[in-house]
Structures are given as C-alpha cells and as structure tokens.
C-alpha cells in the first residue's frame, strides 16, 4: 500500500499533470452558431486539449486553473481550415529548388550548386520557377549549362509557367534520350529544353519518392500550414502512399495539423483503409472521409467544360474527363461504401453534369450526405439554386478569383460572368460554402483568401471597387467559410471549426484585429502562434513577436 502510494507520488512529481489552462487577456473573435461575430476574452482548456469554457464579459472560470497563459491582448481566432488543399504536393513543391526571380543564368547555376551541396541524398534535383525573360540576354538555358554545375545526378528545372523544363545530360540519359529521339506531338526538345508534351519523357522517369522523402514532404507541408494559421485541412486526392505517410506521422505523434482526407479517385479509394472511411484516428488528427473525382480540367488551359463554346476559341467547349454513366457508377460505388463525394467541376457544363448526377444519386442515398463540388467556379446562374435542395456544398477558393479574373473574362466573354466565382449568390441561394486555397496552386496562406472574399480584390487592392463586387461576402461569412463551414464540409463540426465547450482548443494568435482591418491589411495578417489541442505547436519569428506591442 505504502509502496504504491510512493510510486503514485513519484509519478506525479516526475510529470506534473496540467489539469486546466486558462488563456486570458485575449481578443477572441470567431463566428457563432448564429453566423454573427462572437467576441470573447479567454478560454479554459482541459488536460485533453479541449475547450471547457469560453470567457465572455465578467464571467470567471468555473474550475480551478493550474496554468495561466497571457495572450497579451492579441487577437485570437479559431485555427483556420483549408477546405481544399493538396498536402503532399505542398511539401514536395516547397522542398524543390526555388528559382523564382533569378536574374541570370549564373545566378541559377549558383543556386543549383548550393542546393545540390545541401541535398547530397537527393537522387534527382528538382527545381522550378526560372524565367529567362528576366535575364540580360533572354537566352534559354541548355543542358551544358546545367552539366557545368551538376553532372553526377539528374537535374530537372521547370520554367516559371510550367510549360518547359531544362534537363542536364544525366536526366536526358535517364529518360533514354538520344539524338534520334523524336518529340511527341505538341512537344519540342532543344539542347536539353523540353517543351510542353515533350516534358513527360523526363517526368515519367523521375523516381517515386521514398518513404523518407514522403515523411520529409509531409513535415514541410505541416510547418507551412501551421505558420500560416491552418490547423486543419482537407487533402483533396490522397494516394495510398500519402495515407501511409500521414499515419506514420500521426503514430509518431508528429502530426499536428488535422487532415480530412479524400482518396485520389476510385482506385485509391478501394485501397486506402481497406476501401472504407476510417473515422477519426490518432486523437482526431486524421480521417479518411471521402473520395475526390474529376469532371473536367481548368479554365486557363480550356479544359473546363462549358455549356457553350469558349469565347476566345469557339471551336471548343472544353474536355470532359468523365461520362455521365461513369460518373454515376463511380459516385454510386463511393456512396455505397460510405465515402463522401467531392467532385472537381470548373466549367458551367461540368457543374451541371455533377449536379445532375448528385440529384439522381440522392434518390438512392437520402439523408445528410454533404456531397461537394470542388471549385464550382463557373456556374450557370440557373444552376445555383440546385445546390441547396440536394444538400450540396460548394467548395470554393477565393484567391482563384483574383488570379483568374482577366483570363476568365477572355475565356467566357462579358456575358457569361454572372455565375463566375459567385460566392454571395451561392450563399443567398441557401447553400453551404466552404473556403480553401487549392494549395500549392495558390499559397496556403488563408488571409489573402479572407481578404479576397470580402473585397473581390487582390492583395494590392486590384481592381478598384472589386471585380463583380456584388459577389463579395461579409467578414463573418468569409471567416465562417474558413472555419465552421469548412469543418461542416468535412463532417468535422463536432470536433473543430469553433472554440466551444467539447471541441478541440485549436486556435491562433495574430498580429492585428482581423475583424476591423481593411482588406489589404487583412491579407497581410501575420500569424504569431498556432495552438492545436491546447498545445503551442508553432510560433513566429522574433520580428513577428516584436510587433506584439502595436
């Protein structure tokens, strides 16, 4: 008895258990269940990392407090959620050699040399972002220019637009390239420069990442997400290898972001977790909830399926990636196995196709299904009212609107823009919206997205007055799109998306009052600290901390 007591005391002394933590002196801002702003000044968090009390007004903690954290009057928000990202791609692209903005071939060579020296384990050296238009002679690089710096392993460096890449001799050798190689149709090869359709000759030879490389990419992606204030994300297109990496990280207690995983197509869906949704795993860090499918491509490359021909290329409507019959049978298989459906549709033709498939499927699968359309970018205004009655969620990316607007005007012409990036029309129709970034297509930083959502302007305030400003949303709607509604879109609203008793204490401290900031200031918000399950998992640089006094 005495021995057991001593052991218990020793255990208590060796690991002082923190029962409750009070986060006080915060300027808390979130969206309440009524859709209005909810301001609070503190949180009580239990030893599990869950919120037990939200302090508003003069209310005092209802239980004894073991630890107090002074938020220093800073703005506290629920952790933001990206409803549409690509986690591993974010990590892999961030690990590549970044050649954005290099001013000369010599500068590119220097950076390549340094990167190769810093990454001796890399079997291939991959990079991207160079633009010879910024160089004094504007001359394209050649394989020999790369060989001069790195010749011991393949090097493959993509141009800024993704439509060309330069290979060194080792990469060309790996691709089986010889003087007799003929570029495929739609491609060109010149002195190691592979253009468009020729790029696949080399890209198909890049070895699949090892488990260690996967782990490294996931860690990098997580660091970027936490630094940008994201505590949860949907992963739109998880492969079985990605799923394994996420589980390895979580098992090793290294997964700090929460991932709502959507298998990348039906073949991956059949394999991951034995072909069934996983439910929440690893203390709610990981959940395979659904499957991501594609109905069409992108607007920029005219792959998006439009109801009528492209305004700037009248001989095409775009390129459908799935027939009605295929979509119906694949969606039926996914629904039958309990997977939530998330189908990519950009053009108004593809959106109508997915809406029809969902409406039909709903007769067999009633109830709360929350089927999603990813992007819902260009809709026929007549189709928007079809979302709400079928319980369909529009998963949209505000920053795409600012990146695409000039291109969209060309592709669609002035008369077909009414249903383009039409966030407010979707909300007014009674449908749910969820916001995201589509990282790494865009930056994972959600603040430019919040700013675009309320202004229809880019980070520099363009265009003045906003593009189709009637589609702006309120700050509350925008914040909800990146918190409550993004959680709802992944069946996670009981777990996170708001700081309420019983939910995880996932929150961020930022350097300004986002509810009062103008759009350009909102877009430039800096995250100071990121907390997940009541633990600080990321904090900013000294410079960010120095702004706290402002």
The residues that touch Zn ion, with contacts defined as CB under 5 A, are 236, 438
CA atoms within 13 A on the CB side of 235: 30
> Which residue, 159 or 400, has its beta carbon nearer to Zn ion?
400
> Which residue, 198 or 218, has its beta carbon nearer to Zn ion?
218
DSSP assignment string, 149-197: T--SS-EEEEETTSSEEEE-HHHHHHTT--TT--PPTTEEEETTEEEET
Q: In what order do the strands lie in the sheet with 75-78?
A: 37-40, 27-31, 75-78, 507-510, 527-532, 535-539
| d(C-alpha 358, C-alpha 123), whole Å | 45
> Which residue, 132 or 445, has its beta carbon nearer to Zn ion?
445
**What does DSSP say about strands 527-532 and 535-539: parallel, antiparallel, or unpaired?**
antiparallel
* Three-class SS state of 131: coil
> Which residue, 125 or 259, has its beta carbon nearer to Zn ion?
259
CB of 310 to Zn ion, least distance (A): 22
The C-alpha angle 421, 423, 426, rounded to 5 degrees, equals 115
Q: Which residues contact 414 (CB under 8 A, 6 or more apart)?
A: none
Q: What is the DSSP-derived secondary structure letter of residue 133? A: G
Q: Name the residue number minimizing CB distance to Zn ion.
A: 438
> Which residue, 236 or 431, has its beta carbon nearer to Zn ion?
236
CB of 305 to Zn ion, least distance (A): 17
Q: In what order do the strands lie in the sheet with 125-130?
A: 97-98, 125-130, 155-159, 164-167, 193-196, 187-190
Question: Residue 409 burial by CB count (10 A; 0-12/13-18/19+): exposed, middle or buried?
Answer: middle
CB of 519 to Zn ion, least distance (A): 24
> Which residue, 236 or 346, has its beta carbon nearer to Zn ion?
236
CB of 42 to Zn ion, least distance (A): 37
> Which residue, 168 or 437, has its beta carbon nearer to Zn ion?
437
CB of 237 to Zn ion, least distance (A): 7
Decide: 249 and 255 in contact? Cβ < 8 Å: yes
CB of 298 to Zn ion, least distance (A): 10
> Which residue, 143 or 378, has its beta carbon nearer to Zn ion?
378
> Which residue, 82 or 438, has its beta carbon nearer to Zn ion?
438
CB of 421 to Zn ion, least distance (A): 15
CB of 169 to Zn ion, least distance (A): 35
| d(C-alpha 530, C-alpha 227), whole Å | 7
Question: Residue 441 burial by CB count (10 A; 0-12/13-18/19+): exposed, middle or buried?
Answer: middle
**What does DSSP say about strands 164-167 and 193-196: parallel, antiparallel, or unpaired?**
antiparallel
> Which residue, 145 or 235, has its beta carbon nearer to Zn ion?
235
Decide: 89 and 440 in contact? Cβ < 8 Å: yes
> Which residue, 125 or 293, has its beta carbon nearer to Zn ion?
293
Write down how long the chain is.
550
DSSP assignment string, 351-390: HHHHHHHHHHHHTTS-SS---EEEE--B--GGGGGGTGGG
CB of 226 to Zn ion, least distance (A): 21
Q: Which residues contact 212 (CB under 8 A, 6 or more apart)?
A: none
Decide: 423 and 453 in contact? Cβ < 8 Å: yes
> Which residue, 80 or 236, has its beta carbon nearer to Zn ion?
236
CB of 86 to Zn ion, least distance (A): 6
CB of 531 to Zn ion, least distance (A): 27
CB of 236 to Zn ion, least distance (A): 5
**What does DSSP say about strands 75-78 and 507-510: parallel, antiparallel, or unpaired?**
antiparallel
């Amino acid at each position: 008895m005495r021995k057991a007591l001593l052991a218990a005391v020793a255990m208590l002394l060796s690991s002082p258990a923190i029962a409750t933590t009070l986060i006080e002196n915060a300027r808390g801002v979130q969206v309440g269940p009524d859709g209005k702003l909810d301001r609070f000044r503190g949180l009580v968090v239990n030893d599990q990392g869950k919120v037990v009390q939200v302090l508003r007004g003069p209310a005092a903690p209802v239980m004894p407090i073991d630890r107090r954290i002074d938020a220093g009057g800073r703005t506290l928000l629920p952790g933001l959620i990206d409803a549409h990202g690509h986690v591993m791609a974010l990590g892999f692209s961030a690990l590549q050699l970044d050649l954005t903005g290099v001013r000369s071939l010599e500068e590119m060579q220097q950076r390549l040399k340094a990167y190769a020296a810093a990454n001796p384990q890399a079997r291939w050296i991959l990079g991207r972002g160079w633009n010879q238009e910024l160089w004094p002679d504007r001359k394209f690089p050649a394989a020999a220019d790369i060989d001069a710096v790195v010749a011991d392993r393949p090097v493959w460096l993509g141009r800024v637009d993704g439509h060309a890449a330069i290979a060194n001799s080792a990469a060309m050798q790996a691709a089986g390239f010889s003087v007799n190689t003929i570029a495929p149709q739609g491609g060109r090869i010149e002195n190691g420069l592979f253009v468009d359709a020729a790029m696949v000759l080399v890209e198909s030879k890049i070895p699949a990442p090892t488990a260690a490389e996967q782990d490294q990419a996931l860690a990098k992606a997580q660091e970027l997400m936490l630094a940008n204030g994201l505590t949860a994300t949907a992963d739109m297109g998880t492969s079985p290898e990605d799923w394994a990496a996420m589980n390895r990280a979580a098992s090793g207690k290294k997964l700090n972001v929460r991932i709502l995983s959507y298998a990348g197509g039906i073949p991956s869906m059949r394999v991951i977790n034995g072909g069934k949704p996983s439910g929440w795993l690893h203390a709610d860090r990981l959940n395979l909830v659904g499957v991501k499918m594609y109905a069409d491509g992108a607007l920029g490359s005219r792959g998006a399926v439009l109801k009528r021909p492209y305004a700037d290329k009248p001989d095409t409507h775009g390129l459908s990636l799935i027939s009605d019959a295929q979509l119906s049978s694949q969606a039926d298989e996914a629904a039958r196995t309990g997977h939530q459906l998330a189908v990519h549709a950009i053009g108004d033709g593809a959106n109508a196709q997915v809406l029809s498939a969902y409406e039909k499927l709903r007769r067999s699968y009633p109830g709360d299904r929350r089927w999603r359309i990813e992007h819902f970018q260009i809709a026929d205004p007549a189709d928007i009212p079809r979302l709400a009655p079928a319980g369909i969620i529009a998963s949209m990316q505000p920053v795409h609107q600012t990146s695409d607007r000039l291109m969209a005007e060309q592709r669609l012409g002035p008369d077909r823009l009414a249903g383009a990036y039409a966030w407010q029309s979707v909300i007014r129709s009674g449908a749910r919206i969820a916001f995201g970034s589509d990282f790494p297509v865009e930056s994972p930083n959600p603040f430019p997205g919040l700013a675009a959502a309320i202004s229809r302007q880019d980070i520099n305030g363009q265009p003045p007055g906003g593009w189709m400003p009637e589609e702006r949303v309120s700050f509350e709607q925008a914040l909800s799109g990146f918190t409550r509604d993004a959680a709802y879109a992944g069946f996670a609203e009981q777990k996170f998306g708001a700081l309420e008793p019983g939910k995880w204490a996932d929150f961020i401290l930022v350097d300004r009052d986002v509810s009062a900031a103008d759009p350009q200031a909102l877009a430039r918000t800096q995250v100071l600290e990121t907390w997940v399950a009541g633990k600080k998992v990321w904090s900013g640089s000294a410079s960010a901390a120095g702004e706290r006094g402002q």
